[in-house]
Amino acid sequence: MFSVEKIIRIDMTDLKTKVEKVPDKYKEMGGRWLTSSIINDEVDPTCHPLGPNNKLVFAPGIVTGTSAPSSGRLSVGGKSPLTGGIKEANAGTPFSQMLAKLDVKAIILEGKPKDDKYWVIKVDKNGVSFEPADNYLGKGLHEAYPLAFKKYGKKVGIAGVGVSGEMLMTNAGICFNDIDNRPSRYAGRGGLGAVMGSKGVKFIVLDDKGTQAVKLKDRDLFNKGRKTLTTALQTNDGTKPGGMLNALGTAALVNVINEAGGLPTRNFREGRFEGAAAISGEAIAEAVKKRGGAGMTGHPCHPGCVIGCSNVYPKEDGTEHVSCIEYESTWAFGANCGIDNLDDIAEMIWQCNDYGIDTIEAGGAMAVAMEGGLASFGDGKKAIELMKEIKKGTLLGRALGCGAETIGKLLGVIRIPGVKGQNMPAYDPRAIKGIGITYATSPMGADHTAGYTIGAEVLGMAGPMDPLDTDKGGLAKMLQDSTAFIDATGYCNFVTFATGDPDAFDALLQTCNGVQGTSWTLEDVGRIGGEIIDIERSFNKAAGFTKADDRLPEFMKYEKLPPHNNVFDVSDEDLDKVHG
């Protein structure tokens, strides 16, 4: 028997549940490999993402639920209402570990309610039950989550949608609790929260009481790999206790990318922000130290994380403001909007957590709105007021809540920095060419996590490399494949800081083999990752995507980005060669 043994299929049309044996073809799969396979096998690529024929799949990774370090990742898959293609969004949360310990390989939500009712789905070792969600509707998640924990107990895991998901906004994410039960960990990108809302599901509550750790096929092999990988993570400069990620969080990159001239500023007009230092990881750490109280760095997003790249940002009086301020989030509402006030940025991140929306897309929408004249770049207080429209559900709020492309079209803005309808993250591809290739060619739309070339291009993890060099197709392809594999395992992508060491990567494979009884080698990483990408590209092609969708926005081909004054000059022919 494999460690996770069943698939739970929930039809929201008539609230019926079916527990299925895992098909042989899925037994070695986990995370993104499984979500994308199920979506490709079962969903009509031409269906409406918010209609009855789309499905939503939750799948823990292969080693999730074990004692493997930093392995508490969960994949959520479906057809994206934002991009119109296949989507996998990923989160680190106790929810994922609980799902694995319940011996659930995947939960599949399908169908669509016959009325407008919303439900809470509760899953425990005894099965699945449904309860009306009326008490939580229309409330911010900072109010709704404590109510749910009061009812179901503090040791459950919760996946939920905010008011944005209830209103089917295409930037709605799926929120999970962190280790302190905050509504703060998001499978954010691609609007999958709107899909969950369309199914009439407000919360999924997991209770793993009475369960045991995930079963292992080869405990000795697993433990050997676990120990080696843990040591590698605890000695690597990027991931060790007190190292870059632990001390400064992901926002440690703000000053680094700013210096490289690739920090998108004022809606991708410039590559350097004069206020970068004020919104950086160093500034966050200094505020935590100075203000004290609830503030902290080195905060883990799930049990068993040995990296601890999260944080809790305090208000001036030491009370908690928000958790957490990530690199992408402080950029999205900071440099991208011309705002250098961390308290304003923290408030907008808090609003995103409360409303249930992705910070990258929300910050992108705000910057485009500023481009369109709704506020001035740098006006944090006006941006906060505009954000409130999302919760109110006004016409303007719904447009902002549907992302940068929607608000941009409404306002007649030309500079919309997206691919496949999804706003770009915090690296300008005119200054860092490899990440632009990833943005263009990933099945996910503009997504840095789909193939993170920054480690090689800027951080020098593979030796010296010129970010302005355009010959990065092979790098982007290799990283997209290997990332897809990591997304299948349940490991955090940051383990790759340490797995550049062949022994550490072999240890990662040993943990997977120890769980499943497989004998994967390095060659299988490329094979499996490539298979995942092929599955996703096949779905997108059937949905109507063409080579024209694997392109960056036109303005990046003719608008030079200061300070390097470069355009994105990777040819269409080279983009088309990435995946063959």
The pLDDT assigned to 1 comes to: 30
Question: What DSSP character marks residue 522?
Answer: H
Q: Residues 134, 36: contact at Cβ < 8 Å?
A: no
Percentage of the chain lying above the pLDDT 90 cut: 97
Q: Which two tokens mark 347?
A: 């408030």
Average pLDDT over residues 58-72: 97
Average pLDDT over residues 507-529: 97
Average pLDDT over residues 471-475: 97
Closest CA to 263 of 90, 56, 425, 32: 425
322 forms bridges with which residues in the sheet?
313
pLDDT in tens, 242-265: 999 999 999 999 999 999 999 999
pLDDT interval class at 213 (50, 70, 90): confident
pLDDT interval class at 5 (50, 70, 90): confident
Residue 389 CA to residue 395 CA, distance in Å, equals: 8
φ and ψ at 549, to 5 degrees?
-80, -15
The pLDDT assigned to 429 comes to: 98
pLDDT in tens, 294-337: 999 999 999 999 999 999 999 999 999 999 999 999 999 999 99
185 forms bridges with which residues in the sheet?
176
Q: In this structure, which topology does domain 6-206 adopt according to CATH?
A: Aldehyde Ferredoxin Oxidoreductase;  A, domain 1 (3.60.9)
pLDDT at residue 108 above 80? yes
18 forms bridges with which residues in the sheet?
9
The pLDDT assigned to 376 comes to: 98
12-21: long-range contacts, CB 8 A cutoff, minimum separation 24: 12/109, 12/110, 12/111, 12/112, 12/113, 12/119, 12/199, 12/200, 12/201, 13/52, 13/111, 13/112, 13/113, 13/114, 14/111, 15/119, 15/130, 17/127, 17/128, 19/127
Phi-psi region of 403 (alpha: psi -120 to 50; beta: other; left: phi over 0): left
The pLDDT assigned to 2 comes to: 33
pLDDT interval class at 461 (50, 70, 90): confident
**N- to C-terminal Cα distance for the chain?**
38
Domain boundaries, given as residue ranges, for the chain: 6-206, 237-497+517-577
The pLDDT assigned to 469 comes to: 97
Closest CA to 274 of 556, 562, 555: 562
Residue 158 CA to residue 121 CA, distance in Å, equals: 10
Residue 73 CA to residue 61 CA, distance in Å, equals: 6
Task: Please state, rounded to an integer, the average pLDDT across all residues of the chain.
Answer: 97
pLDDT in tens, 379-411: 999 999 999 999 999 999 999 999 999 999 999
Sign of torsion over alpha carbons 339, 301, 35, 54: negative
Percentage of the chain lying above the pLDDT 70 cut: 99
The pLDDT assigned to 436 comes to: 98
pLDDT in tens, 424-452: 999 999 999 999 999 999 999 999 999 99
Average pLDDT over residues 60-78: 97
pLDDT in tens, 550-572: 999 999 999 999 999 999 999 99
Average pLDDT over residues 136-144: 98
pLDDT at residue 549 above 70? yes
Residue 333 CA to residue 340 CA, distance in Å, equals: 9
- pTM, two decimals, is 0.97
pLDDT in tens, 274-288: 999 999 999 999 999
What angle is formed at CA 164 by the lines to CA 160 and CA 166, rounded to 5 degrees? 70
Q: Which two tokens mark 227?
A: 């120990």
pLDDT interval class at 545 (50, 70, 90): very high
Closest CA to 447 of 488, 467, 417: 417
Q: In this structure, which topology does domain 237-497+517-577 adopt according to CATH?
A: 1.10.569
Dihedral angle, C-alpha 287, 291, 293, 299, nearest 10 °: 10
